[in-house]
């Protein structure tokens, strides 16, 4: 029996836990060099957690433990489906959810902190593309895009780009 148990349930508040390289496929080298320093992330505790979560892929025992109790179990980067789209789909199956809104957690921070309109909108575009990519393989995942209203014309461009993704 699933958590939803025959009911139609849409989870309206889930988050992806972005990794350090989360936005990399969606940024050119120049944008990376400008936004990366704003993350302020130094190697350490989070990297160890990420390595542990990544290492469970293909390890039946570690995967079983991660999926044992997603509601009360570990949270953050170590949680099942935190940053791995394939795991997220398994979590949806386990819960029996019909759909899930997926919000970013931290990937917009550097763009907002940039104090530069060009960097802001380039960072937002990378974030929105990353969200679309994470959600692309399962129609039940609805990535929540972001469109800053600082410049209405550029905001509209971001909305249109996100809808096209």
Q: Which residues are CB-contacts of 59 (< 8 A; sequence separation ≥ 6)?
A: none
pLDDT in tens, 96-107: 999 999 999 999
Give domain status of residue 69, yes or no. Answer: yes
- Give the total number of structural domains in the chain: 1
* Residue 141 and residue 134 in contact, taking contact as beta carbons nearer than 8 Å: yes
The CATH number of the domain where 98 resides is what?
A: 3.20.20.140
pLDDT in tens, 52-82: 899 898 888 988 888 888 888 889 999 999 9
Give domain status of residue 5, yes or no. Answer: no
Give domain status of residue 72, yes or no. Answer: yes
Give domain status of residue 62, yes or no. Answer: yes
Give domain status of residue 4, yes or no. Answer: no
Give domain status of residue 2, yes or no. Answer: no
Is pLDDT at 38 greater than 80 in this prediction? no
Is pLDDT at 36 greater than 70 in this prediction? yes
161 vs 132: CA distance, rounded Å = 11
The whole-number pLDDT of residue 40 equals 65
The whole-number pLDDT of residue 41 equals 64
Give domain status of residue 153, yes or no. Answer: yes
Q: Which residues are CB-contacts of 82 (< 8 A; sequence separation ≥ 6)?
A: 16, 17, 53, 76
Is pLDDT at 39 greater than 90 in this prediction? no
Q: Residue 145's pLDDT band (boundaries 50, 70, 90)? A: very high
Q: Residue 91's pLDDT band (boundaries 50, 70, 90)? A: very high
Give domain status of residue 1, yes or no. Answer: no
Domain of 62, in residue numbers: 10-164
């Amino acid at each position: 029996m699933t958590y939803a148990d025959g009911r139609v349930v849409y989870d309206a508040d889930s988050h992806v836990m972005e990794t350090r390289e989360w936005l990399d496929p969606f940024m050119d080298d120049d944008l990376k060099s400008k936004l990366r320093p704003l993350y302020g992330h130094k190697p350490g505790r989070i990297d160890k957690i990420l390595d542990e979560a990544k290492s469970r892929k293909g390890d039946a025992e570690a995967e079983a433990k991660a999926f044992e109790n997603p509601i009360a179990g570990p949270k953050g980067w170590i949680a099942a489906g935190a940053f791995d789209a394939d795991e997220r789909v398994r979590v949806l199956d386990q819960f029996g959810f019909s759909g899930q809104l997926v919000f970013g957690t931290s990937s917009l921070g550097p763009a907002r902190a940039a104090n530069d309109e060009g960097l802001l909108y380039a960072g937002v575009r990378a974030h929105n593309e990353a969200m679309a990519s994470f959600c692309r393989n399962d129609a039940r995942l609805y990535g929540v895009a972001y469109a800053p209203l600082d410049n209405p014309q550029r905001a509209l461009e971001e909305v249109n780009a996100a809808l096209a993704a």
